[in-house]
Structure 1
């Protein structure tokens, strides 16, 4: 297996790495934490100017028309730098709208969204668990939407949101105009300092053209998993590197603590978790770009991302000792990101159970990739 990036993927990753390094050193991250900004606006403007915010948007809609491989490489760098910008949410939502949405749903503002002038957010809360939080009922020629969409990223700053709602017994993606007065917005802040908002819908009227095609959620969900897992890979890899640097310098009982067998073993366990995630993510991204089914690969990557985030996050805090709980020291930010990403992915136990349920009925997975069961999107 060749896991090396292509020339284009390396070029985008290096561009992102250079850009994020200019805006995300420890001092700037601390200033952001204390500043109360919803996200890194200045960095977002640079991302849009450099084309990093519309990589997977089709060319005929003003994007670059690239694949998940290029986006994943950039998101890993974003995770390594803890760059708080809505890179994947914006462009994956726009790509889904172009592919599955009726043109009337976004006519007039698509160009502004592609350029980054208007934000489009997304929440998959309704697809992580068994039932969507939002319910849609037919009312004449419109749909009446009720319920709560909790902790939507940038819910108070975005103009539109792509949400999951229950409609006639099936979960569907729907595009919501967040300026509608029928939506109550309660702003808040996530643990990794991204602005979020609870969106309460009290009989919001939604037209037919705001709903994406039935196939949209099956297309969107594994790509969202790949995006979140790419961020987690970057967060955990960099967190592990910083922990190794620390234990290679910190001395206790007359020795560098990294020379103690227990500490070295914890570092090795963290490295294994990160590389396992990297391998699973590479397979998932490859299959998505190749147009192959990726349902079980998505569940596996989801679990590995949650597991790596938890294992590496808590191990890194542990080996830092008292320093790790001092929020003036930067290592805690990685744990906050890992927790936020783990919540967005649904948690390790839930995802492992879902993968187990799937494997119980598809027990030949892995022998050959031409099985019908492995072609399910």
Structure 2
């Protein structure tokens, strides 16, 4: 199977790489991490101005119509630069509305995502142990509408975000960030993202459907959105791992020990070779999942394989590259440490590698061959 990017996706990669290289400097990343939201808002505006926020969204919403493949090219470039913008939660939510939402919901959300004036986020996790596919958050009818009760953990980049895509026992719902019955609790994640815990107490919500009063949420939407989210996270992790490997390669080329560059030592070369092999395996599994999802074919197992590789191999790579930097690798303000933090955070989002492996085993055991 040929996973070579076409002309359009190559153009997206080139543009995204240039923007992230120019904007995601060490100083800008530091400033964003110390801000109230943890987001580089100037970078977010630049992504909107260049059309990259709409790369995956349909053309009738003002997007480029490049689907999940376009999104994952963008996310991989973000990961290479560890750029502090909430692309995956915002654009996965937008894709969910594009695929499962009704005309009114699409019209209300998608144009604002494309031009950067609306920044949604996704509340798909709860406190462990739990399976994201079986949320404990309760959705109940209330007259002609719905209300949600429960707690959603680690909602990414929630400061200033809205609306919020919430998973519940009846499916997916959109809630306004400041709706009655909602309270927020600030938390800071491993990757220094300013996330928040969301508490819902009979908060009014709109099911992800045509918005007809009393209508249930779109069937199968939760599984579909989890596939999108897992694939998006795998794409970010590929970029994080490659960015970390390239920084390590540059470091061992310049750094000398015993009168020789570190990169001339065979043990160092083996470590980087192992990183390269694992990154290529991550990329192949990622694009296999993307190709199936964009083609509308069954992709649950392929998505879990990609997510498992992202968690397992991605964590291996950021560990190795940090070790190759020696003592400065554990300096919390040194650039390579940020890659380690991102890799660690992504590896545990929506469940770690062992949880993904268990889900994959269950999926394969239930498959008909």
Q: TM-score if structure 1 supplies the norm length? A: 0.88
1:219 counterpart = 2:224: yes
The aligned residue for residue 279 of structure 1 is 284
The aligned residue for residue 373 of structure 1 is none
Question: Greater shift after overlay, 285-294 or 42-51?
Answer: 285-294
**How far does residue 312 in structure 1 lie from its aligned partner after superposition?**
0.6
**How far does residue 299 in structure 1 lie from its aligned partner after superposition?**
0.7
**How far does residue 266 in structure 1 lie from its aligned partner after superposition?**
1.6
Q: Is the 8 A contact 2:282 2:313 kept in 1?
A: yes
1:1-377 to structure 2, matched below 5 A, reads 1-105=1-105, 108=108, 110-125=110-125, 128-129=131-132, 131-167=134-170, 172-207=171-206, 209=211, 212-362=217-367, 364=369
SS in 1 for 2:195: strand
Q: Is the 8 A contact 1:56 1:92 kept in 2?
A: no
SS in 1 for 2:296: coil
Q: Is the 8 A contact 2:175 2:206 kept in 1?
A: no
**How far does residue 128 in structure 1 lie from its aligned partner after superposition?**
4.6
Question: Greater shift after overlay, 85-94 or 48-57?
Answer: 85-94
**How far does residue 272 in structure 1 lie from its aligned partner after superposition?**
1.2
- Deviation sequence 1:261-295 (CA, Å, 0-9, x none): 33222212111111100110111111112221111
Question: Greater shift after overlay, 12-21 or 337-346?
Answer: 337-346
Please give the alpha-carbon distance, in whole angstroms, between the structure 2 residues aligned to 1:206 and 1:260. 59
Q: TM-score if structure 2 supplies the norm length? A: 0.90
Please give the alpha-carbon distance, in whole angstroms, between the structure 2 residues aligned to 1:109 and 1:284. 27
**How far does residue 199 in structure 1 lie from its aligned partner after superposition?**
0.7
- Deviation sequence 1:33-59 (CA, Å, 0-9, x none): 344442110000011111111122222
Gaps of 5+ in 1: 365-377
Q: Is the 8 A contact 1:156 1:185 kept in 2?
A: no
Q: Is the 8 A contact 1:44 1:85 kept in 2?
A: yes
Gaps of 5+ in 2: none
Distance 1:94 1:271, change over 3 A: same
SS in 2 for 1:125: coil
- Deviation sequence 1:292-350 (CA, Å, 0-9, x none): 11110011001000012210111111121111011232110101111121122411111
- Deviation sequence 1:203-246 (CA, Å, 0-9, x none): 22335539640122232222222211111001101101111221
For these two proteins, the number of residue pairs brought into alignment is: 360
**How far does residue 109 in structure 1 lie from its aligned partner after superposition?**
5.2
Q: Is the 8 A contact 2:29 2:40 kept in 1?
A: no
Please give the alpha-carbon distance, in whole angstroms, between the structure 2 residues aligned to 1:222 and 1:337. 20
Please give the alpha-carbon distance, in whole angstroms, between the structure 2 residues aligned to 1:83 and 1:128. 29
- Deviation sequence 1:92-140 (CA, Å, 0-9, x none): 3223223322345566455334322121111321585463141123344
Distance 1:108 1:224, change over 3 A: closer
Q: Is the 8 A contact 2:32 2:38 kept in 1?
A: no
SS in 1 for 2:53: coil
Q: Is the 8 A contact 2:132 2:350 kept in 1?
A: no
**How far does residue 152 in structure 1 lie from its aligned partner after superposition?**
0.5
